[in-house]
Amino acid sequence: MMAVAGSRMLKDGELVLVGSGLPMVATILAKYTHAPNLVIMTEAGVYDAQPLHLPFCVADARFSFNNPWMGTPIELLGHILQTKRIDVGFLGGAQVDKYGNLNSTCVGDYFHPHKRFEGSGGAADFAAMANRTIIIMSHEKRRFVDEVDFITSPGWRCSKFPDNKKVFREELGLWGGPVAVVSTMGIMKFHPETRVMYVDAYFDDLGVTLEEIKENTGFDIYTSKAVPCTPPTYAELELLRTRIDPEGIYMRYTPLTAAAK
């Protein structure tokens, strides 16, 4: 459901910079369904990807099959992203807070972390300069927090150097911003004035309740306007299971290759 919900947020003809994992799955699904002219790009330099098979990561050679141009990170993150031509940055992460700040760097103190991750890669650039950002990640209390341990990718309200004062992103000269967080439980969006996260839709077809979302969120999240999310169609599920991710690399189902044995 996460991949389907994420794919439906993409529009035909848009330029999308994708991160590894479910952002790739959702973007490819959109291209196979309602957005055939979607331009899939990666920080590795891929432009207008036409993958026949699901790439393992953004630098996988399968992403460069039949694409019209192979650039460099400087060209993608510099010449194109910094000139406001990227419509969507599609990211995952370890933590997200109520303002959409994303952490893919570490858990705990930066200099003495409990765990260090691989971030940021291009994630900071995506979130700072894409015209809008979509985040996709598992919904757990330890992941949806009041304040992230480290801001890898800026959301709506973040720290200003050097005094770490919290300001809205516009004061830092940043445009765009996160428009949605797609989780294992539903779709979160941000209030247009306060910029605080709220529940827009929940996956009731998976048995998710609003109470469960509250219990698994590390801050008080507004749920009163939430509606059930439209379930995936048969066509969307068939594409995911037979064409996009038949081996179940990112999707949670019994792979068709395994079921056939």
| 20-37 pLDDT, tens digit each | 889 999 999 999 999 999
Q: In what order do the strands lie in the sheet with 88-91?
A: 69-70, 46-47, 39-41, 15-18, 88-91, 132-136, 178-182, 186-190, 197-202, 227-228
How many angstroms separate the CA atoms of 120 and 112, rounded?
Answer: 18
Confidence of residue 193 (pLDDT cuts 50, 70, 90): very high
Residues in the chain: 261
129-178 pLDDT, tens digit per residue, is 999 999 999 999 999 999 999 999 999 999 888 888 899 999 999 999 99
Express as a percent the part of the chain with pLDDT over 90.
Answer: 74
pTM here? Answer: 0.92
The band of 127, judged by pLDDT with boundaries at 50, 70 and 90, is very high
Domain hosting residue 200, numbered range: 2-259
Q: What's the domain count of the chain?
A: 1
Most confident of 37-51, 141-155, 245-259: 141-155
Q: What is the pLDDT of residue 91?
A: 94
Residue 107 pLDDT: 94
Bigger pLDDT: 247 or 129? 129
Give the pLDDT score at 253: 62
pLDDT of residue 59: 83
Beta carbons within 10 angstroms of residue 199's beta carbon: 23
242: domain CATH number is 3.40.1080.10
Q: Look over the chain and give the mean of its residue pLDDT values, rounded to a whole number.
A: 92
Are the C-beta atoms of 127 and 137 separated by less than 8 Å? Answer: no
Instruction: State the pLDDT confidence band at 67, using cuts at 50, 70 and 90.
Output: confident
* pLDDT for residue 57: 85
- 258 falls in which pLDDT band (50, 70, 90)? low
Band (pLDDT 50/70/90 cuts) for residue 103 is very high
- Asked if 147 is an active-site residue, the reply is no
| Per-residue burial over 106-143, b = 16 or more CB atoms within 10 Å of its CB, e = otherwise | bbeeeeeeeeebebbbbbbbbbbbbbbbbbbbebeeeb
Q: What is the mean pLDDT of residues 180-185?
A: 98
